[in-house]
Amino acid sequence: MISVPELSLVVLVGVSGSGKSTFAARHFRPTQVISSDFCRGLVSDDENDQSATPAAFELLHHIVGTRLSRGLLTVVDATNVQYAARKALIDLARRHDVLADAIVLDVPEEVAIRRNAARPERDFGAGVVIRQRKDLRRSLGKISRDGFRKVHVLRGLDAIDDATVSYEKAWTDRRDLTGPFDIIGDVHGCRAELESLLRRLGWVIERVGGQAVSARHPEARTAVFVGDLVDRGPDTPGVLRLVMGMVEAGAAICVAGNHEQKLVRALNGRAVKTTHGLRESLDQLGAGPPEFAERARAFMDGLISHYRLDGGRLVVAHAGLKEAYHGRASGRVRAFALYGDTTGETDEYGLPVRYPWAEEYRGRAMVVYGHTPTVHPEWVNNTICLDTGCVFGGSLTALRYPERELVQVPAEQVWYASVKPLGGPARDPAMLDIGDVQGTRHVETRFGTRVKVLEENAAAALEVMSRFAVDPRWLVYLPPTMAPPETSRLDGFLEHPHEAFEEFAAAGVTEVVCEEKHMGSRAVAVLARTPEVAAARFGVTDGGSGTVYTRTGRPFFGDLAPLVDGLREACEPLWTALGSDWVALDCELLPWSAKAGELIRAQYASVGAAARAALPEAVSALEAAAGRGLDVGGLLDRTRRRAGNAALFRDAYARYCWPVDGLDGVRLAPFQILACEGRATALEPHAWHLSTLALLDSPLITPTRHVFVSLDSAESRAGAVAWWEALTAAGGEGMVVKPAVHTPGRVQPGVKVRGREYLRIIYGPDYTESLDVLRRRFLGKKRSMALREHALGLEALSRLADGDPGWRVHEPVFAVLALESEPVDPRL
Amino acid sequence: MLLTISTTARPATDLGFLLHKHPDRVQEFGQSFGTATVFYPEAGERRCTAALLLDVDPIALARSRGKGSPDFSLSQYVNDRPYAASSLLAVALADVFRTARAGRCAARPELPGTPLPLEIGLPALPCRGGPELAGRLFEPLGWTVSAQAVPLDEGFPEWGDSRYVRLSLSGTVRLADALNHLYVLLPVLDDAKHYWIAPDEVDKLVRAGGGWLRGHPERGLISRRYLGRRWALARTALARLAELGDEPEERLEPAVAEEPAAGETAADELAAAAGSWPARDRPDDGPRDGEVPDRGTGDAGDGEAEPKARPLAVQRREAVLRTLEDLGAVSVIDLGCGQGALVGALLATPRFARVAGMDVSAMALTIAARKLRPERMPDSKRARLTLFQGALTYTDKRLSGYDAAVLMEVVEHVDPPRLAALERVVFGHARPEHVIVTTPNIEYNVRYEFLTGLRHPDHRFEWTRAEFAGWAARVAGEHGYRVTLRPVGEEDPEVGPPTQMGVFTRDQRS
């Protein structure tokens, strides 16, 4: 039986005709096997064209490298009878930090020759096989020194036929452990503090003869030690005794720290400098029985570099680990895990300068580590360092996972003098990187979709975002687009509530809310109770305490302060109601002309002006022609109707325009509470939103009228239709119909049902003349966009509520803007 | 949509012969975007009026232009084309009155060559530039012009006038000339972005402008507007975002001037074909970012070039180049490269072995690429050049590894709250050995006679010398740089130089 690591490079070795391809096909998936013949065919159209061999291997190495970087087991099917060929593959595996195994198929020469002869495309003579076999013989003696993890030699046809292949999990792979975990920072011989911390976490310590020998947690939690149990502190043996007991009892796991590594070398009798607290460990262990020292040595020697836990969602390594190294095995992976990424320089204290890998970390897995003492543990891009310098008089820190809760006990005293003052790493989690947004990207959301953003849309969004948007720290959400319902067949209508109700009923929704659609400009208001809250929660320290921005993230007015201050005052009741001192609101800002004035004048009013100037003259000219007895009847009627439509069009836009002077005349109509501290409230039922927002009582706030509709009841539906008809007859834009509670799946979060007159602004003054043509509108893309943008919006709010770093919130927000630049019928 | 042509020649009904349209018939002509109808509201001996009524179907118009057209936005559905005397009317006129425009009349061969008393009426003519521009364009051609502005909306008098005028022309002009005047000048006055971007437009202009365009005092403006804004093609995605934000599309245009590239086809061909007006193909002489030109540059747009002092943009670029050479920089990245004028100059200097240009505007980069023409460079020169899109508020690995970074007239385009991010990106992360920053000196603005406000509408601020010095010193201190400040352009004893430059050099220790 052959066993290979789950992620490895498997190198088949054997002469032509030894049955490598057959063997590979029997034991591996076709996509896992990359053969040199196949690659030769790709680059030459002839699998036997030997002149194509260098190009074929270049391609083979490229494919293999790409697979390995993506974490896929890969089998190389080539003769590999020469050292140079194997060496190149081993180097490739090392470059991707995966192990390589060799499987040698050693068949009698005559078998190989016979098989080749039976294959007409292999017209080379027996000489080739004989030469290859010579190479193989020469190789077999020393192949074990090539650098393979293991060399599996199958001698003879029977051995090859009988072989089975199994997979070994990587040592680092403990994805099966799902916790909950208590992850504990660098202990450095501080046994008393460790015991206090464990008790604080609810562990029960077991003692033999007064010595703590193990611990268990009544809720079956698992402790995870990030390494550096030893050195510097007062009781390294005591710490080791307790941790070894916990590990042996299956209540804990532990990764290696650089101090364990060095202590093992010292215990193994190697010459090491006994600095950085190593002396203390050796003295303390030397004072005890040698059997204990040997047990500790064996324990520490067996510690591995890092663990992947909880389905891959959690990685623990002593000095952290960049994403490309998660689950990998190589010398440099171990070095990174133990020592971190160093720049090779030393600082003014003679300590190595560490490369700030965490600032660039963009992986999905949470990385928990120690190694670098800091005053306060801080989240940096989903990574956290738990070394709070207990031995230097700081504290000992644990992270509860998945709760993300920090538990600390202070050091009982300064046990060891630090050469360098404790300090946090320089970082700014709000600093965005171009890699977060540029190019074709996929954004993961927890709402059922993974959203693709195309490069050209990201490019347009980058321009708008960086030139015009508000400070991204405030820009925590962009509203998704909203689709209309299926087109109405009713005479004179393009949109009608009936289709909206049908759509939701068909999706299994029983209750919807119809909310008045305020005709203004969509606005998102992010408001902090005080500038201090703004600084603490959003990192905005310019004294601002909020912002109000448009659908594309632009600030509403040149000077936002009066509006923000007015809204903060108006939102006073929310602070207690929400138990939060900041809030993000989804709103409509009225009047439309407040923000869109320039657009209204340049586009809508201009169309009206041109129509009102031209159509009456056209009518007169036609009337004069008709007076001469010319047959212009049809055209004259039509032109008269159009003159009427132009007047209706003018009334339609004018309704949403009124003069504003500063804040005078500006009103905000909030209809949803997007988020507050710790909560993505956008997921709450609409009844909650509307009743909570009803607490606001301010001249600046316009309430959102609404009715709830039970879709099972024809009466309830009819009432809502009548409500909509009254609303639109009075000049309203229309209404938005939403499932009353958040409904997962491919159900629209809301559809807009716009009024007949309002649609003139959208479809043009004369749209009522060509309803039949307009009914052939295609809604699919708009509806799909609405779903994707909705998922992105909720994802942004959830990340905000989780306290994710700024770039994580920015990613889906940016994606919404990018999607909005996709071409879709703008009238929908 | 409506054009009336009247004559009081005797017999007035000769107009029917000239137009090849019978006064007693109503004739329809299909167009891709609707229907053109010709009829005569009056046809007497003393006065005869022909009307061309163009019925534009906005849906057909949108469909005829296809999804990929640059106006795939709401404005293609709700637009003035059905009502205004736009370029579409010019298209219809050219089609319907083709023979008349050519000056042929088989029935009355003497008529086309005879100037007639004509009146032309256009009730809603889009006229960017106001009624006064209509006068400037038509009067030199022998017309008496009456142009009245149409109010935007009587219900909102504070909105003022619309861009439409009610235009009446009267004069004694040959009919063929009158039609050609309209054919060329309607789109010029309309100045709409999207309807005139075909390669044969130059030929059409030269043909229609035949005798009269060469001597027209506004020929520069006419040719430029007629040829349209050729950059419009790249805009679709951005335009949608503008509309979504309730903004006119122009608001999102990049902060660069739209100037034709050197040697680029249309302007040159036109200059060669139509005569002697100055070719506007010297982008290097234009101000960067379309900002206020320096004193003495005069009218950088329409007029003849006068002998003038070197423009500030050139002085600034030369100052930056000289400084880069003095610093010994070999690799340089121009952050906010715009149309690539500095990048081009750097490439022209072999000592700069690696030259990169970054800008946030994809369109600016497209223009830069058109001007630099990397596809025509020898391999060795092309290999020195990199152009890419990026934003200075995002950290970006691609910005690292250059000896020097240039922020020429860039920082003032960044909102003050975002400057800190720019500082971190450039001085904290990219950390080149040298950074050169230039920015306007606001104190100098009093020396610009006609300037109100800042020098460019996209400027978010402009600094006094003291403000710039303070900023430069703080940034240098925070990030381990030393900075020296230098004037660019002629220094005014009272208000200082027009441009200020900071040269930052990284401390060896950091």
Contacts of A628 in chain B (CB under 8 A): 24, 40-43
CA distances to A499, B290, B326, B484 from B490, in Å: 70, 20, 21, 18
Q: Which ranges in B210-347 belong to alpha helices (H)?
A: 219-226, 236-244, 265-274, 312-327, 341-347
CA distances to A430, A675, A801, B347, B411 from A580, in Å: 21, 10, 12, 56, 37
The answer to which of A779-788, B53-62, B336-345 has the lowest mean pLDDT is B53-62
ipTM above 0.90, yes or no: no
Q: Given this model, what pLDDT does residue B309 score? A: 66
Do A820 and B421 make contact, defined as CB atoms within 8 angstroms? no
Question: Mind telling me how many Å the CA of B153 is from chain A's nearest CA?
Answer: 6
Which among B236, B360, B417 has CB closest to A823?
B236
Do A630 and B72 make contact, defined as CB atoms within 8 angstroms? no
Q: Given this model, what pLDDT does residue A257 score? A: 95
Do A438 and B389 make contact, defined as CB atoms within 8 angstroms? yes
Do B417 and A592 make contact, defined as CB atoms within 8 angstroms? no
* Token pair recorded at residue A35: 């053969």
Nearest-angstrom CA–CA distance, B57 and B36: 11
- pLDDT means per 10 residues in chain A (828 residues)? 93 93 95 93 82 92 95 95 93 93 93 86 79 89 88 92 92 92 96 96 94 94 96 95 96 95 92 87 92 95 94 95 91 90 67 76 91 82 91 93 89 85 53 87 80 91 91 94 93 93 95 94 95 91 91 88 93 94 95 86 90 94 94 92 92 88 88 94 96 94 95 96 94 94 91 93 87 86 94 94 86 95 82
Backbone angles phi, psi at A63, to 5 degrees: -65, -45
Q: Given this model, what pLDDT does residue B246 score? A: 63
Contacts of A625 in chain B (CB under 8 A): 26, 39-41, 51
**Preferred mutation among B127, B167, B244 to probe A, highest tally of A CBs within 10 A:** B244
The secondary structure of residue A603, as a DSSP letter, is I
Do A436 and B394 make contact, defined as CB atoms within 8 angstroms? yes
Nearest-angstrom CA–CA distance, A785 and A749: 12
Q: Given this model, what pLDDT does residue B472 score? A: 97
The burial class, CB within 10 Å (0-12 / 13-18 / 19+), for B348 is exposed
The burial class, CB within 10 Å (0-12 / 13-18 / 19+), for B84 is buried
Closest CA to A514 of A288, A765, A725: A725
Question: Mind telling me how many Å the CA of B464 is from chain A's nearest CA?
Answer: 21
User: Is the whole model's pTM more than 0.90, yes or no?
Assistant: no
Compute the residue count for chain B. Answer: 510
The amino acid occupying position A80 is: N
Contacts of A610 in chain B (CB under 8 A): 80, 83-84, 124, 126, 150, 162, 164
Taking the CA of residue A65 as centre, how many other CA atoms within 13 Å lie in the half-sphere pointing to its CB?
12
pLDDT tens digits, residue range B459-490? 999 999 999 999 999 999 999 999 999 999 99
CA distances to A600, B102, B177, B189 from B207, in Å: 38, 10, 12, 19
Question: Mind telling me how many Å the CA of A773 is from chain B's nearest CA?
Answer: 9
Q: Given this model, what pLDDT does residue B430 score? A: 93
**Preferred mutation among B24, B29, B78 to probe A, highest tally of A CBs within 10 A:** B78
Q: Which residue of A has its CA nearest to B68?
A: A823
Contacts of A657 in chain B (CB under 8 A): 156
Q: Which residue of A has its CA nearest to B418?
A: A471
Do B241 and A820 make contact, defined as CB atoms within 8 angstroms? yes
DSSP characters over A178-201: ---EEEE---TT-HHHHHHHHHHT
Domain positions in chain B:
2-196, 312-506
Do A467 and B78 make contact, defined as CB atoms within 8 angstroms? no
CA distances to A252, A261, A382, A825, B50 from A226, in Å: 11, 13, 16, 55, 92
A730 and chain B in contact, CB less than 8 A: no
Do B77 and A826 make contact, defined as CB atoms within 8 angstroms? yes
pLDDT of B497 higher than 60:
yes
Q: Given this model, what pLDDT does residue B65 score? A: 54
The burial class, CB within 10 Å (0-12 / 13-18 / 19+), for B10 is exposed
Collapse the DSSP code of A648 into the 3-class scheme (helix H, G, I; strand E, B; otherwise coil) and give the result: helix
* Token pair recorded at residue A359: 């600032």
Do B152 and A468 make contact, defined as CB atoms within 8 angstroms? no
Do A823 and B53 make contact, defined as CB atoms within 8 angstroms? no
Collapse the DSSP code of A714 into the 3-class scheme (helix H, G, I; strand E, B; otherwise coil) and give the result: helix
Q: Given this model, what pLDDT does residue A290 score? A: 92
Q: Given this model, what pLDDT does residue A241 score? A: 96
Q: Given this model, what pLDDT does residue B63 score? A: 64
Which among A465, A550, A614 has CB closest to B84?
A614
Nearest-angstrom CA–CA distance, A142 and A151: 11
Closest CA to B3 of B98, B89, B112: B89
* Token pair recorded at residue A619: 């009518």
What's the rounded mean pLDDT across residues B88-92? 87
Question: Mind telling me how many Å the CA of B71 is from chain A's nearest CA?
Answer: 11
Contacts of B124 in chain A (CB under 8 A): 609-611, 613-614
Backbone angles phi, psi at B350, to 5 degrees: -60, -25
Nearest-angstrom CA–CA distance, A805 and A638: 60
Per the listing, tokens 């078998």 go with A111
Do B152 and A550 make contact, defined as CB atoms within 8 angstroms? no
Q: Given this model, what pLDDT does residue B442 score? A: 94
Phi-psi region of A344 (alpha: psi -120 to 50; beta: other; left: phi over 0): left
A643 and chain B in contact, CB less than 8 A: no
Which among B67, B153, B246 has CB closest to A650?
B153
* Token pair recorded at residue A434: 């171009």
Q: Are strands A211-216 and A204-208 parallel, antiparallel or unpaired?
A: antiparallel
Does domain B312-506 fall under CATH 3.40.50.2300? My reply is no
Question: Mind telling me how many Å the CA of B305 is from chain A's nearest CA?
Answer: 33
What sign does the dihedral A22-A25-A27-A31 (CA atoms) show? Answer: positive
Burial A519-552 (b: 16+ CB within 10 A, else e): bbbbbbbbbbbeeebbbebbebeeebbbbbbbbb
Do A659 and B158 make contact, defined as CB atoms within 8 angstroms? yes
Nearest-angstrom CA–CA distance, A475 and A548: 9
Nearest-angstrom CA–CA distance, A15 and A32: 21
Do A630 and B413 make contact, defined as CB atoms within 8 angstroms? no
The burial class, CB within 10 Å (0-12 / 13-18 / 19+), for A188 is buried
Nearest-angstrom CA–CA distance, B498 and B311: 11
User: Rounded to the nearest 5 degrees, what angle is found at the Cα of A634, between the Cα atoms of A632 and A638?
Assistant: 115
Nearest-angstrom CA–CA distance, A183 and A187: 12
Domain B2-196, CATH: 3.30.1610.20
Which among A471, A618, A654 has CB closest to B53?
A618
Which among B243, B360, B424 has CB closest to A463?
B360
B-facing residues of A in 498-537 (CB < 8 A) are 521
Q: Are strands A314-317 and A222-225 parallel, antiparallel or unpaired?
A: unpaired
Which among B26, B55, B80 has CB closest to A606?
B80
Cα–chain center distance at B322 = 31
pLDDT band at B294 (very low <50, low <70, confident <90, very high): very low
Give the DSSP H/E element, type plus range, for residue A618: helix A606-627
Which among A461, A596, A613 has CB closest to B246?
A596
Collapse the DSSP code of A306 into the 3-class scheme (helix H, G, I; strand E, B; otherwise coil) and give the result: strand
pLDDT tens digits, residue range A319-375? 999 999 999 988 889 999 998 877 666 666 666 667 778 878 888 899 999 998 887
Do A609 and B244 make contact, defined as CB atoms within 8 angstroms? no
Nearest-angstrom CA–CA distance, A410 and B216: 88
User: How many CB atoms lie under 10 A from the CB of residue A198?
Assistant: 24
pLDDT band at B298 (very low <50, low <70, confident <90, very high): very low
Nearby residues of A713 by Cβ (< 8 Å), 6 or more positions away: none
**Residues paired with A753 in a beta bridge:** A735
Which among A436, A624, A821 has CB closest to B240?
A821
The secondary structure of A379-433, three-state, reads EECCEEECCCEHHHCCEEEEEEECCCEEEEEECCCCCCCCCCCCCCCCCCCCCCE
Contacts of B12 in chain A (CB under 8 A): none
Nearest-angstrom CA–CA distance, A255 and B313: 61
* Token pair recorded at residue A139: 């190789």
Taking the CA of residue A476 as centre, how many other CA atoms within 13 Å lie in the half-sphere pointing to its CB?
35
Q: Given this model, what pLDDT does residue B104 score? A: 85
Give the DSSP H/E element, type plus range, for residue B368: helix B362-372
Question: Mind telling me how many Å the CA of B275 is from chain A's nearest CA?
Answer: 36
Nearest-angstrom CA–CA distance, A528 and B18: 74
Do B39 and A632 make contact, defined as CB atoms within 8 angstroms? yes
Question: Mind telling me how many Å the CA of A652 is from chain B's nearest CA?
Answer: 13
Nearest-angstrom CA–CA distance, A268 and A298: 10
Question: Mind telling me how many Å the CA of B483 is from chain A's nearest CA?
Answer: 24
Closest CA to A73 of A105, A34, A36: A34
User: How many CB atoms lie under 10 A from the CB of residue B388?
Assistant: 16
Contacts of A548 in chain B (CB under 8 A): none
Burial A313-347 (b: 16+ CB within 10 A, else e): ebbbbbbbbbeebbbbbbeebbbbbbbbbeeeeee
Do A827 and B53 make contact, defined as CB atoms within 8 angstroms? no
* Token pair recorded at residue A167: 């997979």
B-facing residues of A in 405-464 (CB < 8 A) are 428, 431-438, 456-457, 459-464
**Preferred mutation among A381, A434, A550 to probe B, highest tally of B CBs within 10 A:** A434
B-facing residues of A in 577-606 (CB < 8 A) are 592, 595-596, 598-599, 601-606
Collapse the DSSP code of B167 into the 3-class scheme (helix H, G, I; strand E, B; otherwise coil) and give the result: strand
* Token pair recorded at residue A640: 């008269």
B-facing residues of A in 657-696 (CB < 8 A) are 657, 659
Contacts of B48 in chain A (CB under 8 A): none
pLDDT band at B241 (very low <50, low <70, confident <90, very high): low
Backbone angles phi, psi at A805, to 5 degrees: -65, 160
